[in-house]
Structures are given as C-alpha cells and as structure tokens.
Amino acid sequence: MMTRRRLTLLASLAGFGALAACASSDATAPARATAARATTGASANSAPTGDQLHDGHLIPGALGSAGDAPAATGNRLACNVPSTLTDSAVIGASGGEIDFGPHRLIIPPGALAHDTLISGTIPAGPSITIELQPHGLHFNKPAGLQFDVSGCGEIEGAIYLDGLDGPEHIPAVFSEWWHTVAAPLDHFSGYALDM
C-alpha cells in the first residue's frame, strides 16, 4: 500500500512532466521551458536515460550536471528553517527515499550495491543546508535531492546546490508550480542552496 506522501510525490513528478509537455496559453511558458533546459543542461530533443528515471519517473534534478555550472557565488537562498530536521534509513539495491520534513532524498534502484545506513540533517536557520552521511558515499546512478522552497524568499534566477566542503556547484531545477528545487547527487557531502 502506498503512503499518502509517496502518492503526492508521484503525482508531483507526473504533474511536473505534464506541465512541461503541454501547450500553454501562458506567453511565458516557452521562456520558462527554455530557461529550464538551459539550467539543466538538457537540449530540446534530449530524453531521460535509464539512470535518470526511478519507477518510470524522472529523478528530481537528474538532468543537471555539475560540469555545466558557473562558479559558486556564495549567495545562499534565504529560507526559514524553523527547527532542525533529521532522519535516517537503511537503503539497499532496490532504492528508497528519506524525508526530512518537507524535503526528500530519492535513491533509485541500482544506485547502491548493498544495504547502507543513510542519514541527513537540515539544521534550523536562515537558509537550507543539509549534511548527508556517510560522507563520500558514491552512487552507481544519481540520487535526487528535493527541497521544498515554499518558505524561502523570492527566487529570481538559477539555483545551485553548493558543496559546503569543496568547489561543487550543481545546477538545480526550480519548479515555480510545486515550489521545489531538485538536484542530482552522485555522492554525499554537505550542501546548501545557492543563487
């Protein structure tokens, strides 16, 4: 039996794909689609590969690529995180997800070869940062990290996931409709949302 949270995620991902695919009378829709492709590094004719899908759905942020990102600016996205959020779970070869309040980490099947205790903490504060453990864990397929940014300030431009311990600067996908920011991860470190 699927939980309500799982159904909401699947509906969100399906709705996001449907919105991108449907024609719109909104004159800004083509501009948003072009901006989204530019942010993710995907071309108009590219289709998600097996590594970018989980149960037939696009992994949040899976079209991003750290190599396409400009240098980090250090401008953290202003967000209200009222209390520390933490969770952990054992995830194996069949994949799974972990929820940190309204935020989530999705690990697709085949990303891990064996059972691994995964944990993460989002501390309370004026921006969203997350520390994922075990530090340095590498995935065979990218995992998706999705943040709820409905409690954040105005998002005016591109969003990135910055490595707190190094020069990582990973393009993320912002959905104005769902108020989420998603990015792919190929390994664990500490991350923050940057503009």
pLDDT-derived band at 95, boundaries 50, 70, 90: very high
Which of the pair, 24 or 144, is modelled with greater confidence?
144
Tokens of residue 32, six digits? 């948003």
Q: How long, in residues, is the chain?
A: 195
Nearest by Cα to 192 from 116, 79, 106? 79
pLDDT of residue 10: 41
* pLDDT of amino acid 4: 45
Between 25-39, 46-60, 120-134, 160-174, the lowest mean confidence (pLDDT) is in 25-39
pLDDT at 68: 47
Q: Please state which of the ranges 99-103, 141-145, 165-169, 171-175 shows the lowest mean pLDDT.
A: 165-169
Average of pLDDT values for 87-105? 97
- Write the pLDDT tens digit of every residue in 1-60: 444 444 444 444 444 333 333 333 333 333 333 333 333 333 333 455 666 555 555 555
Alpha-carbon span 194 to 31, nearest angstrom: 22
User: pLDDT averaged over the chain?
Assistant: 74
User: Under DSSP, is residue 178 helix (H, G, I), strand (E, B) or coil?
Assistant: coil
Give residue 73's pLDDT: 59
DSSP 8-class letter at 81: E
Residue 48 is predicted with a pLDDT of: 56
Burial of 3 (0-12, 13-18, 19+ CB in 10 A): exposed
In this prediction, what percent of the chain has a pLDDT beyond 70? 62
pLDDT confidence band for 169 (50 / 70 / 90): confident
Using DSSP bridges, classify how beta strands 180-187 and 173-175 pair: parallel, antiparallel or unpaired.
Answer: antiparallel
Which of 17, 27, 30 has its CA nearest to residue 56? 17
Q: State the distance between the two ends of the chain, measured CA to CA, in whole angstroms.
A: 39
pLDDT at position 168 is: 83
Domains of the chain: 1-195 (2.60.220)
What's the predicted TM-score (pTM) here?
0.65
